[in-house]
Amino acid sequence: MKQWLFLWICLSCVSVNLSAADDSDFSIAGAELAPHSGQALPQKGWVPQVINEALKSSGYRVDFQFLPFNRALVSVRKGQIDAMSPLYISELRKTFLYYSEPLVISKTSLFYTKEKPVNYRNISDLSGLKIAIMRGASVNPEFDKYQDMIRIEVTSYEQLVRMLLLGRVDALVGEEFVVREIIKNDDEFNGKHRLLQGDVALATQGLYVAVSKAAPDAANKFNALKVGLSQLKASGRFNQILQQHGIAYENGLIQPVRDPLDDIH
């Protein structure tokens, strides 16, 4: 009997210790969205670097994982992964995620070819055009409900750019930094010298960190993240990190510091 009691106490201690260890791990998922996040980028991109530094003094061990966007979102919704970034905000996602203040504000823009420019000033200018866009993406209320254009939905930014360069769509809509990064690195189709970016942004949207409400110790993790991000911005370190990655930050909006794609404007 004493042996069974001793074994039960030991197992209980192991269980408690394992639970505590789990709670001190902070898993964060992100998609390959250079220059914001990416396995081949310095520090894995500015987003992972900001999160790591924000949580440095919190006692949490940060594990940043790269997953396809939809898989990451499902895992975070179930609480299998604690958080996700970078991420846009939506009313649906707010039902299962705690959102930080926006890390930054970025532009969603229209891109097209020099051979077939699109003179966009208002939504009616897109009438009859084939527009490539990320599956499930929301741009702005007017764009989202407009029925006179043909939406071609894809699952990656690389597909967006490729479809435009192959002439399968008239234009693409996407977050400007990610699209420009893909164009800059395109050698196959010479995209840097063939594409233009519209000078009127379709939207400006925040990029966030969001913590799963189903995650272990979710409230404490979210609070640690909020406090760390606030301190990072107040100290000026947040701005320094963005500059290290070639991004200017002013009044919340990000702009390229060095712009190798001036010829696409």
The DSSP code sequence of 173-227 is: EEEHHHHHHHHHT--SS-GGGTEEE-SS-SEEEEEEEEEETTSTTHHHHHHHHHH
Burial (CB count within 10 angstroms: exposed 0-12, middle 13-18, buried 19+), residue 105 = middle
Mean of pLDDT values over 39-50: 97
pLDDT surpassing 80 at residue 168 = yes
Q: Are residues 98 and 122 in the same domain?
A: no
> CA nearest 109: which of 258, 254, 260, 257?
254
Q: Are residues 99 and 211 in the same domain?
A: yes
Report the CATH number at residue 131: 3.40.190.10
Q: Are residues 195 and 217 in the same domain?
A: no
Q: Are residues 190 and 251 in the same domain?
A: no
- pLDDT band (50, 70, 90) for residue 13: very low
- pLDDT band (50, 70, 90) for residue 2: very low
Mean of pLDDT values over 94-110: 97
% residues pLDDT > 90 (the chain): 79
Q: Residues with Cβ < 8 Å from 95, sequence gap 6 or more?
A: none
Q: Which has more confidence, 141 or 12?
A: 141
pLDDT in tens, 192-249: 889 999 999 999 999 999 999 999 999 999 999 999 999 999 999 999 999 999 999 9
Q: Which has more confidence, 262 or 172?
A: 172
Q: Confirm whether 265 is domain-assigned.
A: no
Q: Are residues 85 and 28 in the same domain?
A: yes
CB of 177 closer than 8 Å to CB of 36: yes
Q: Confirm whether 261 is domain-assigned.
A: no
Mapping DSSP to helix (H, G, I), strand (E, B) and coil, where does residue 20 land?
helix
Q: Are residues 53 and 129 in the same domain?
A: no
Q: Confirm whether 262 is domain-assigned.
A: no
State both tokens at 21. 């260890």
Please report, as a single letter, which amino acid is at residue 218.
Answer: A
Q: Confirm whether 218 is domain-assigned.
A: yes
Containing structural domain, residue 179: 105-204
What size, in residues, is the chain?
265
CB of 77 closer than 8 Å to CB of 213: no
Q: Are residues 6 and 99 in the same domain?
A: yes
> CA nearest 210: which of 49, 40, 58, 47?
47
Q: Confirm whether 264 is domain-assigned.
A: no
pLDDT surpassing 90 at residue 67 = yes
**Domain boundary pick from 204, 222, 242:** 204
> CA nearest 102: which of 249, 237, 262, 265?
249
- d(CA 75, CA 72) in angstroms, rounded, equals 5
**Number of domains forming the structure of the chain:** 2
pLDDT surpassing 50 at residue 9 = no
Q: Are residues 50 and 175 in the same domain?
A: no
Q: Residues with Cβ < 8 Å from 219, sequence gap 6 or more?
A: 98
Q: Are residues 119 and 131 in the same domain?
A: yes
Q: Which residues of 154-185 are buried (b: 16+ CB within 10 A; e: fewer)?
A: beebebbbbbbbeeebbbbbbbbbbbbbbbee
